[in-house]
Each structure stands twice: as C-alpha cells, then as structure tokens.
Structure 1
Amino acid sequence: MIWAVLPVKELEGAKQRLSPALTPAQRVALMQVMIGEVLAALTAARGLAGVALVTLDPWATDLARRSGARVLNDGARDGHTGSVTAAARRLAAEGASGIITLPGDIPAVTAAEIEAVLAAHSAAPAFTIAPAHDEQGSNAVLLSPPLAVPLRFGEDSYFPHLAAARAAGIAPRIVPLPGIGMDIDHPADLAAFARLPEAAGTRTLAFLREGGLIPS
C-alpha cells in the first residue's frame, strides 16, 4: 500500500530559472514532456498501490486521468512541500502504508529505478531517499508511514531531510540513481542531461534536440 505522489503546479510560468535559455512557451512544453515521462515511469513501476498527481493544472489533470492516475487538489497551491504533505495526510487517512514522491523534472527516471528505491526500503518506520546529482535536492523520497518524517523540499533539502529522519529515530537509506538524480532546473542542466547515458531514447532529449535547445 505504497502510493506515489507527483506534485505538479500550474504550468503557466513554469521553470523560471530556465528563462535565459528557453522562452515561456518552450518551458511549458518542456515541463509537459518531462511530467509525461515521470508519470509513465511511475505507472509502469511494480509494487505501487497507485499514483496520485497533486495538481490544479488542466493539462496535468487530463494527463493523469488518461494514464489511470488519481488527481488530488488538496495543497496544490501550497508549494512542493505543502502539496506532498497534504497528499500524505490524505493517503494515510485512507490506509496507505507509505508514500514515494518524485518531482516532475527528472525525465530520465525509469520504472526500474523506482523499483530499486522500493526494494531498498525497510519495514516501517522507514525513510529512503535518492538525492539529486549535486546532493542538493531530494529527488525521490519514500517514507512509511506517510507522515513518518516532516518534509521540506527546496534546492538544499537533501541533508536536512537526512537530519529530519535521524531526529525522528529513523536511519535513512540512501539510494543514488542516475536517472532520478538528474533534474532539469538551470540552463547548465540541459547539457548535463544530454550527456547522461540514461537520457538516450527519452522524449525529453528528442524535444530538446528537435527544438535546437541543445546540439544534435
């Protein structure tokens, strides 16, 4: 009974930090491609009870429903942390034993990587994390029960999350994974993503190349 939680804020004005390299329309289109890839990996992963998108965005809502995912609105405008925390409360009240949450900007993630995080997780209470490649962000967090550790996402959340787990009496398990670890936030991340072997064959890489946003 572990549920996946994917927070998706309204896409208008998405990815402001990519504005030096991408137009507003390109940023929205990139987010749509990336979210699609993350959702596809989640729905293909074995061992999940279900997938929930926390969103009020019409496009993301339609994608979720077409993919068989659930849509939650609680906390959808409360930022990444608020969205995930609201979903955790809701799912815990419904009997979920745990949640795994990922952001929508890690398009090289695979179902196999998600299954690797699930496999590394221990019996509750437990906390498992896959960090961003720079060990700043927390790109996959699995916790059971769903509210076992207070969450606080942001650019510098990885080590604070480790400390929060230990403060809750839980030894965190760390699972570095290349696809999950590669988030796209800054212009330099576009080239780094293109060099990642796990990016080969992704729709995101094709989108970036076809749009002339990275060299072919």
Structure 2
Amino acid sequence: MATQAIVALKHPDRAKTRLSAKLTAQSRRELYFRMAEHVLKTLLRTESIASVAVATASDEVASFARGMGATAIDLYVDLGTRAAYQQAIAIHRPSGELLLINGDLPFLQPEDVETMACDRDDVVIAPDRHGRGTNALWCRTAGMVEPLFGENSFKRHCAAARAMGVTPRIVRRLGLGFDVDDPQDLELIGHRDVARPSLLS
C-alpha cells in the first residue's frame, strides 16, 4: 500500500503558546522545529508512506519542509489545524490512501505509522492520550471523512465515519497518542513512567 501523508504546521511564532509559562518564545520555536523534524523524518523512512507534504502558511516552514525532503503545500492563511487540512486537500487534491498527522509527536516511530494502514480498514483514527483530540486520521480514500481536528475531534471523527457507514478502527499507541500541548506534557517527556499504558487511557 502507498499512503500520502500530510502534516499541518502552523506559523512557528504562534505555535505552542500554552507552553509560554514554562518556555521562552525562542525555546518554543526550537521545540516546535525539533518535533516537526522528528515527525517528518519518521514519515519519510516509513515504508508504507509514498509521499510526505507539509501544509503551512509560513514561508519559513515551507522552506524547512522542502529541506527535509517533503513537499510544501502553501496555504492561503493560517486558521488552525482543521482549516489547514481542509485547505491542503482542496489545493493538493490527493487521491487514494491519505494520512493526516500532527507534527508534535515526539515519540512517533515508523511502526506506529504502519499500524494506521490495513487492508481491511477504511478509516483509522489515533486519538491523543486523553481520548479527546485526534493526532492522526487515515482514510482509504481521501475525503472519506472530513478533517475535523480541534477540541473533542476524536468523537467527531468517529461520528463522521459512522455517518458514512464505516466503523473506524481506533489505534492507541504512545507514539501516536503523546503530543505536546501544555506544560504537563512537557514535564512528562523523558520521565521514566511515560510509556506506561495508563498514559494512553
């Protein structure tokens, strides 16, 4: 199977603002680019991923993505993750299998990505470790489920799939479930208990 992957990346100066109590603006930028680099490198070395594109309205991020070996999808405006994926699909017009995956997954590994695609599934959803947001959405056909990323998006994606007559497969793995949004997430990085299953419950 050959899946096209799209990673939505907002302007680095507006990224990870919830970490401002713990990190300076420069440190947030550095963290943002380190995590994005890790996700892109992981996708690029995953066997089932045929191509990787970054959806962004930032010229700096577009140049960064191209330097990593990914394609850049230049968006009209930065309106958040949901709008970024919607714009990217409208501009890029991907066909076939499509993976939409966030760029702040510090523990992502190729085997995590491989679990998203399976012959028997039409829609696969990877929620965040709290079971509220969506960190990755795989569809056998692009556009089968509209990107609904944002608050409580996991439930919305599940409902959208079922409305299409599809029972989504849910994937809960550390690499897909652990994103970095708030100071608590930051504190858990490197903690010896981070891989315990309870963190994904």
SS of equivalent residue, structure 2 residue 6: strand
SS of equivalent residue, structure 1 residue 72: strand
SS of equivalent residue, structure 2 residue 123: strand
Amino acid at match of 1:117: M
Which stretch shows the higher mean deviation, 69-78 or 32-41? 69-78
Deviation at 1:13, TM superposition (A): 2.7
Deviation at 1:98, TM superposition (A): 2.1
Residues 143-189 of structure 1, C-alpha deviations (whole Å, 9 max, x = no match): 12111012211131111111111011111011111111000001011
- Taking the aligned partners of 1:121 and 1:29, their CA distance within structure 2 comes to 38
> Does the CA-based 8 Å contact 1:54-1:76 persist in structure 2?
no
TM-score, normalised relative to structure 1: 0.83
Counting only pairs closer than 5 Å after superposition, residues 6-25 of structure 1 correspond to structure 2 as 6-25=7-26
Q: Establish whether residue 193 from structure 1 lines up as the match of residue 189 from structure 2.
A: yes
Q: Paired residues, what number?
A: 193
**Equivalent pairs: percent with the same residue?**
30
Match of 2:137 in 1: 141
Q: Establish whether residue 85 from structure 1 lines up as the match of residue 86 from structure 2.
A: yes
Distance 1:51 1:22, change over 3 A: same
Deviation at 1:197, TM superposition (A): 4.2
Deviation at 1:75, TM superposition (A): 4.9
Match of 2:167 in 1: 171
- Taking the aligned partners of 2:102 and 2:3, their CA distance within structure 1 comes to 17
> Does the CA-based 8 Å contact 2:73-2:92 persist in structure 1?
no
- Taking the aligned partners of 1:129 and 1:75, their CA distance within structure 2 comes to 27
Distance 1:61 1:25, change over 3 A: same
> Does the CA-based 8 Å contact 1:2-1:99 persist in structure 2?
yes
Deviation at 1:121, TM superposition (A): 5.4
Deviation at 1:117, TM superposition (A): 1.2
Match of 1:160 in 2: 156
Amino acid at match of 1:18: L
Which among 117, 128, 143 is matched to residue 124 of structure 2? Answer: 128
Structure 2 unmatched runs, 5+? 197-201
- Taking the aligned partners of 2:12 and 2:89, their CA distance within structure 1 comes to 23
Structure 1 unmatched runs, 5+? 199-216
Amino acid at match of 2:110: A
Match of 2:199 in 1: none
Which stretch shows the higher mean deviation, 76-85 or 107-116? 76-85
SS of equivalent residue, structure 1 residue 102: strand
- Taking the aligned partners of 1:192 and 1:167, their CA distance within structure 2 comes to 36
Q: Establish whether residue 67 from structure 1 lines up as the match of residue 63 from structure 2.
A: no
Residues 48-78 of structure 1, C-alpha deviations (whole Å, 9 max, x = no match): 2200001132332222212221110135523
- Taking the aligned partners of 2:184 and 2:22, their CA distance within structure 1 comes to 9
